[in-house]
Each structure stands twice: as structure tokens, then as C-alpha cells.
Structure 1
Amino acid sequence: MAAKKNPLSDKAYELYKQGMKLVDIAAELEVPPGTVRRWKSTHGWDGERSECDTSKKSERSGKRRTEKKPTIDDGTRETLQNYDLTAEQQMFCIYYSRTFNAAQSYQKAYGCSYQTAMVEGCKSLRKPKVRAEIERLKEIKRQQIVTGTEDVVELQMRIAFADIGNYMSFGRENVQVMGAFGPVKDPDTKQYLTKEVNTVRLSDSNNVDTQIIQEVKQGKDGVSIKLADKQKAFDWLTKYFLMHPESKYRAEYERKRAEVKDNTGEEILKNMQTIADILKNPVANRAIEDFEEKANE
């Protein structure tokens, strides 16, 4: 039984007739250049371009060809030659191995609505032949990972689970009231006047992981510190562990992730907002009991 023709080959043929180079066609359709060359040979594209294009090709034939750089085989060439899969299933496997998004991959491969892709994408992942091909592509990627990946994983882990409390401390303390000519004294007691103020102190750079600090600045409202994006780190780690379930870091990641997901997370966010409100609207001699009573009302 003949293999089903890949729908992208028709698009490639139209671009070829317009005079586009094979490598440019491959880039446009997001397929390996070897695949386009195979389509050209299999479907007999030679001689299909206009006479003008043919003459231009003849002019270029005498020019010295530049040496091609070796390309990394990502396995997609074999996928497009896997005739156990339909043309759409081939493209689904290729797209999914790049994005790990079943709905998006199905929609691009089949050209259907997103609602349909949401349902059918998950079904496709359960088909043995499709799943086997995806696992083969993932294994190729695992083997191509450059050295030093463990350092990247460790860095992303530190970013994802960083505690701002390790970088700064905040609270309230009494300081002298300053006037135009220096500290102000009580006219009756002759004692220096004090007031309670909010304080924020950064930890010494020698005692913290400065690699994950993105920004430290001093503004009119005081000093502030910004750590690297935690959500981006979580997204990176999630995708990494999908490809590398055997990673020695996976158990630690899942344990820490579970701790972050417990109910204390919402309380932490509320407390952070409370601290921010206090810093914006300081009240002299305010005690923690005042806030607790207000919160319980």
C-alpha cells in the first residue's frame, strides 16, 4: 500500500515553482532540507520552473559551490520516512518533540480548530506508533545535550526556589528625629526625640547567591532587590524533566514543588502584601497586635 503523500510537499512544490531555493523552502516549512530534496526527487520537480528560472539556474551552475556545514541530525528525516505513520502523524511527532504541546502540535499538523486539537492531541499521544516515534526523537535530543547541563539545572533550581528572606531583612526600629540643624530634643526633658520607622536591609553580597540577583537599585522610596524570574525557571525545569525523567534532580524538584503548593503559599502572599502596605503607609508606634486585631475582624 502506497504511503500517504505529505501535504507539505504540495506547498513546497508551489514555492519551488516560484523560484525559491530548497534550503529556503525547508526553513519556511520548518522541515529538514533533506526532506525537501527527497520530495523534489520523488515527485519529479525538475523542469517545472519557468524558463526564466531555468536560465538563472544555468548561470549559477558554473559558480563554485560553498562548502556546506555539517548539520546535526535531529531524527526528523527518519520520521518523515516512517511509513507506519500517516503524513499528519509524522508532522505531529516532529512538532510535539519540539514543543511538548499536544494541542498546538495537532493543530499545526492537521490544520483543524483549536477545540478539536485539544481533544485529538491527547488521543494521538496514546497511539503506540506515534508514542514510539516521539520517544525516539526525545532520545536523540537527550544524546545531543551538551556538557555542563547539570550546572544549568542547578542554577534553574536555585532560581525557582529562591527565598527573598535570604537577601534582605525588614522590620521597624526607633531613630532620632532630625531637624534642620540636627537631632531634635524634647524642650521639657532635654532628651533626643525618636520615632519608629520601617527599615529594609540587604544582606551582605558575600553571604548570598548573587548569581540569581537580577537587579538591585536605590530609588526615592528606598532600596529594592529583584531576583531572576521564578516562573521562567519553573517552565524550563518542567520541560527538562519531561525529556529527562531519569535526572537525579527530579525527586528534589518534585519535593520542593510540592512544598510550594501547600496552603501556606497563600498566607505568604498575603503577608508580603501586608508588608508592602505598611511600608507605603507607615504609622508611628504601630504594634503587630493592631494588625492582628484588624485581620480578625
Structure 2
Amino acid sequence: MPRARDPNRDKAFEIYKKHEGRIQNREISKLLNVSEKTISGWKCKDKWNEKVNGVLQKNTEYSKHKKNKKTKVDVEEVNQVMKNPELTDKQRLFCIYYVRCFNAVKAYQKAYRCSYQTAASGAYRMLENDRVKSEIYKLKQNRLNREFLSEEDIFQKYMDIAFADITDYVSFGTEEVPVMSMYGPVKVENSKTGRKEVLKQVINVVRFKDSSEIDGTILAEVKQGRDGASIKLGDRMKALQWLSDHMDMATAEQKAKIEQIKAKTEQIKNNDNDDGEDGVVIVNDAPKDIGYSDTEISSDIQQQDN
């Protein structure tokens, strides 16, 4: 039976619409006493930004609109940078590339057409240039204003990915279940009472939580394969690196929160395999029609390649 829709879901959107999108997820969560992750999930699934901006259209129309919008944004960014006489042509290119990918090395490589080694050293110096920093800040603010996003929103999303708790998405543990045969539960005689009792065993179980209860924007992949259903979280190590490179975007509260969980960061690094696997995969290979597995079916948690 489908789960009843949470009435706070519609209330949350009404609050967001009332503020014309200029309210943080954290503020809405406080007003409704709902977790910030839940608000973030509703915002993504229900397409709040599109509804508020009035651009929710059919897929074909939206794709065309998105392409035209991207072209318009690119032209606006180029025109803005070209008006800055204090920058060289290469510096202008660097600024444009940087606000698209937020990766200084990649932006430097594309602007200067150089090797990775050269870009790695040059990118740092470029970001130390006050004129370049000022132009990048202007471009970032203009882009964020167009998308009704704040730097705090973006930083928070990377925090959610980096410090995602797997128990928000699955529950796992052990259960005592009957030992099954082709004729049903196996029964054995109790030596003390002389009565036949169902033979039981302890098994490992993994259960996915309902999609309405989780923030789906943190998931990189959900699939049904030969070995069962699996979900994959976003790449935590890449998110951690992004956070490290963009601490200037964090609020005081976000910085304090990161300080509190620095110890967990090291634990995450140590738990990752040496072969550089990224992301976390949860595999549930139990059949769909039962809530547990028997002796021939196992449920496990494992790392796996992309």
C-alpha cells in the first residue's frame, strides 16, 4: 500500500513559494520541525525552483529552453568579463571556465592550454590575484542570483554528500528466522519437552528505506541487477576535496559543523579501499516478495567498482 503523502511536504513548498525561493532549507526545516535533508529531497523531487520560476514544461520544451538559457548565460558571462580592462585575455578565460566547473586546475588548463603539472602550480597563483578573485566573485554572484541559489545552498549539498549517513538509506542487522525446506519450516524435537519446534537461524538482513523518506539527490545510482537491487551514494572523497577547496563559501555555522566531524573524515579515508574505489554501494540480493533471506540467499554490504 502506497505511503501517505506527508502534509508538511506541500506546506514546505508554500513557504518556499511565499518567499519567492529566497529562503534557506534550514529555515523551512525549523518552521515545520522537519529535517533539513528531508526538505532538500522534497525541493529536488517536486522541482520547487522550476515551479516558482514558472518554467515547468514538457520534457521536449524544457530541453530546448535549457539549451537556449545556457547559451544566453554563456554570452552574459563573456560580455561581463570582456568589460573588465584590468584582466588579460587568459585571465578572462580562466574566470569564465572557473565559474562553470569550480576547479581551478581544470580552468587553468583550458585557458592556457598547458599540462596538468603547469596548471597545478599556476592555478594557485591565479586565485591569489586580487583582480581575478574579484571578477570570479562577481560572476559567481550573478550566476547564483539567476538560479535562485546561494553559496550556502551549494556548500550544504556537498556537505550532505561528504558526510552522508548510510543508515539514512538502508537498515541492516541480524534477524532470527525459521530454517526453510522445500516443504516449509524445518521442525526438530526439543530434547527437554519432547515437542517439535521450528528450527531457527540468525541471518544478516539489508532493507532499503522508502524513496519518500530519503534525500534522493545524494544518490549517484539506483539499479536492479543480476545480484539484486543496489544503491550507490555520491563520491564522498570528491565532495570532501570540493569542501576543502571552497571553505570561503561556508557560513560560520557550516565551518563549525565541519570542525566537529573532522575526525569522521579521517575514518572515511581509512575505510576506503586502497584501489581508489569511490562511492559506497549497498547491495540487497534478497527476493522482493520476502523481508528476509533463507540459507540459500544472502544480503550483504560491499564496495564495488563503478
Q: TM-score, normalised by structure 1?
A: 0.49
Q: Which has the higher contact order (CA 8 A, sep 6+)?
A: 2
The structure with more radius of gyration: 1
TM-score by length of 2: 0.48
